[in-house]
Structure 1
Amino acid sequence: MVRRSPLTLAALATSAVPGLAVTSAAPLGGTGGDVDSALLTASDGRTLVIRVPRTPAAESEQSADLVAVRALSDGVRARLPFGVPRMVGQAPVDGTRAIVSEFVDGVPVRLGELTPGLAASIGRAIAAIHALPTNVVADVGLPQLRAIDVMREAVTTLDRAAATGLVPAGLLQRWELAADDAALWQFTPTVVNGALSASSFLSVGDSVTGLLGWARLHVGDPARDLFWLLGADDSEVPEVAFDAYHQARGVHDRDIARRATFAAELELARWLLHGADQRSTEIVDDAVGMLHALLDRVGGDLVNPLAGEATAPSGMAEVDELLERGVPRGPGSAA
């Protein structure tokens, strides 16, 4: 399919938003190859964004995102210290939909360039999401997971990965011990975004100004929104972010760092399963290489075990690599 030009997208936007007059249109970077997008300037001074999915997966993601964003009422948005794009119009096009939304100022964050100052702002931003009332999710029928549901999903992923015969025995033992540690799963579920990575955040300087991508909004494990920070190049970043998170929430989840580490490591198992599901030798080999690199790093780790006393968050280069490449999250997993 030929990519739609900014001018074509501008014309679609005028169909999606009655009375809209576009004075300029420019390409919008950072949206990936599955979406056609443009940054629009309207005659009334508004800056808008139009996005049109190019694949069924992107269309599904867009639809889920719209459901979640509609759940964020004005009252909910007032609780968040950052902007969330608001849809202003839509129009059918080639069997899918063009969505026009408000532009939120800021540049996408890069994991490898995270500073401690911005990490603190991110920690506070995530804490604000987790402090939202759970009825925000319940009222629109989005998933509500209990702690035991999160544990069972982790065990299912572990078992499926083990069945491939490709996960090193040392990692399987490490993960099984964590799954069996009852203390690890004693947490209060919160509203979580569910799909955060560095590029989810928009920033100006050291302040988070916006957050994109709400398709996996649900009630679940707060560690799910924090694990990606473990891939930062600067080891101070996750510590600062976690500290800022705890201070902002006023609730100390003593095992959240361990659950975040577990979630980060299971992302490699999910990448392996994704490769197996897609029958991709390339992805499977890539995942196996990452799993062995992880084993080399954590093998015999008595300082930062997954099962045992709570520890400070530590870096994880393998997840850094996955997130920087923008690989898919766990197929079909909300938690």
Structure 2
Amino acid sequence: MVVVDILALARAHRLDLDPESLRFIEMGLDFRVVMATDTVGRGWVLRIPRYPSVMDRAAAEARVLQVVSRHLPVQVPDWRIHTRELIAYPLLPGVPGLELAGDGEPVWNVDASSPVYVDDLAGILTQLHAIPAAEVADTGIPIRTPEEVRETWSADIDRVAQEFTVNTALLRRWREWVEEDSYWPEHTVLTHGELYPGHTLVEDGRITGIIDWTTARVGDPAADLMMQQMIGTPDSVERLLDRYVRGGGQIWPRIREHCAELIAASPVGYALYALEVDNPELLDAAAMMLNPADP
């Protein structure tokens, strides 16, 4: 999608943009993101769907944003435009903690293991996970019990195994993890689902906002907690869990091992997404992730 198309799309939604202000962010699988300024100087974020199916979840995301905006100590998007073709909201303060440069190289705008960032993240997670499930019951997001979380994982693994060639050792690992009770929490909470630095906005190392709530659901709290284990230092993981518990969050004995298994099972979610959007490049990438030479 070129600049002229973006301008025309925005204009069709009564949003006049400065052509020189457009900046493209290509990190997301679901949406192409464009940062822009309108003709009176206000900043905007435009989310343009890469596939029609991703907009099927957008109505639920919009309702979740209304709920979390009342509870969190940081800002979340305030959608002013929401159609099948475009989502747009006023620019929030801060920059993404992680971005991609034009050549695809990661650009870090924050030290995700710093005490300040970790403490902010822990505070946000304790408040997010404390939101009663009843407040999002009518939003349309998935709401699962602990048993249903595991049943869903089992069904997803089976489907991926039917559609792809999966490394035998990986498949055995995933199934043993799902079956082993000691890994799993006995409670579910409202989660963001992809709370990594690219979805946190930061200023001077502090978190100012949380974006991209497409994957929000009531489910496994480790879906949010595992990200620090994936990208942070061991000390930062321990600090996050300590501050999370101090703030009222609930953990369980094998949470660290469980997070490691969640990380190892990430190709399952990627493969399901590739099947959903039926993208040949994503399907090829998923096939490689599911059958690596050295799992």
Q: How far does residue 288 in structure 1 lie from its aligned partner after superposition?
A: 1.8
Question: Is the partner of 1:39 in helix, strand or coil?
Answer: strand
Query: How has the CA–CA distance of structure 1 residues 184 and 233 changed in structure 2, closer, same or farther, with 3 Å as cutoff?
Result: closer
Match of 2:21 in 1: 26
Is residue 6–residue 25 contact of structure 1 (8 Å, CA) maintained in 2?
A: no
Amino acid in the other structure paired with 1:59: M
> Would you say 1:86 and 2:78 are equivalent positions?
yes
Q: How far does residue 152 in structure 1 lie from its aligned partner after superposition?
A: 0.9
Question: Is the partner of 1:87 in helix, strand or coil?
Answer: coil
Is residue 200–residue 211 contact of structure 2 (8 Å, CA) maintained in 1?
A: yes
Match of 1:116 in 2: 114
- What RMSD over aligned residues (CA atoms) do the two structures have, in Å? 3.4
Is residue 164–residue 287 contact of structure 2 (8 Å, CA) maintained in 1?
A: no
Query: How has the CA–CA distance of structure 1 residues 272 and 103 changed in structure 2, closer, same or farther, with 3 Å as cutoff?
Result: closer
- Count of residue pairs brought into register by the alignment: 278
Q: How far does residue 268 in structure 1 lie from its aligned partner after superposition?
A: 2.3
Q: TM-score, normalised by structure 2?
A: 0.77
Match of 2:11 in 1: 11
Query: How has the CA–CA distance of structure 1 residues 276 and 251 changed in structure 2, closer, same or farther, with 3 Å as cutoff?
Result: closer
Counterparts of residues 165-180 of structure 1 (less than 5 Å)? 166-180=165-179
Match of 1:331 in 2: none
> Would you say 1:260 and 2:259 are equivalent positions?
yes
Identity %: 22
Query: How has the CA–CA distance of structure 1 residues 260 and 27 changed in structure 2, closer, same or farther, with 3 Å as cutoff?
Result: same
Q: Which runs of 5+ in 2 are unaligned?
A: 99-105
CA distance in 2: counterparts of 1:249 and 1:215, whole angstroms: 25
The Cα offsets for residues 9-35 of structure 1, whole Å up to 9 and x where unpaired, read as 66345x26xxxx877862244355843
Larger Rg: 1
Query: How has the CA–CA distance of structure 1 residues 194 and 205 changed in structure 2, closer, same or farther, with 3 Å as cutoff?
Result: same
CA distance in 1: counterparts of 2:242 and 2:25, whole angstroms: 29
Question: Is the partner of 2:86 in helix, strand or coil?
Answer: strand
Query: How has the CA–CA distance of structure 1 residues 173 and 156 changed in structure 2, closer, same or farther, with 3 Å as cutoff?
Result: same
> Would you say 1:48 and 2:44 are equivalent positions?
yes
CA distance in 2: counterparts of 1:276 and 1:139, whole angstroms: 27
Q: TM-score, normalised by structure 1?
A: 0.69
Query: How has the CA–CA distance of structure 1 residues 270 and 98 changed in structure 2, closer, same or farther, with 3 Å as cutoff?
Result: closer
CA distance in 1: counterparts of 2:149 and 2:23, whole angstroms: 36
Q: How far does residue 144 in structure 1 lie from its aligned partner after superposition?
A: 1.3
Q: Which runs of 5+ in 1 are unaligned?
A: 296-335
Query: How has the CA–CA distance of structure 1 residues 249 and 283 changed in structure 2, closer, same or farther, with 3 Å as cutoff?
Result: same
Structure 1 residue ranges (4+ consecutive) displaced by more than 6 angstroms after TM superposition: 21-25
Match of 2:55 in 1: 59
Q: How far does residue 149 in structure 1 lie from its aligned partner after superposition?
A: 0.4
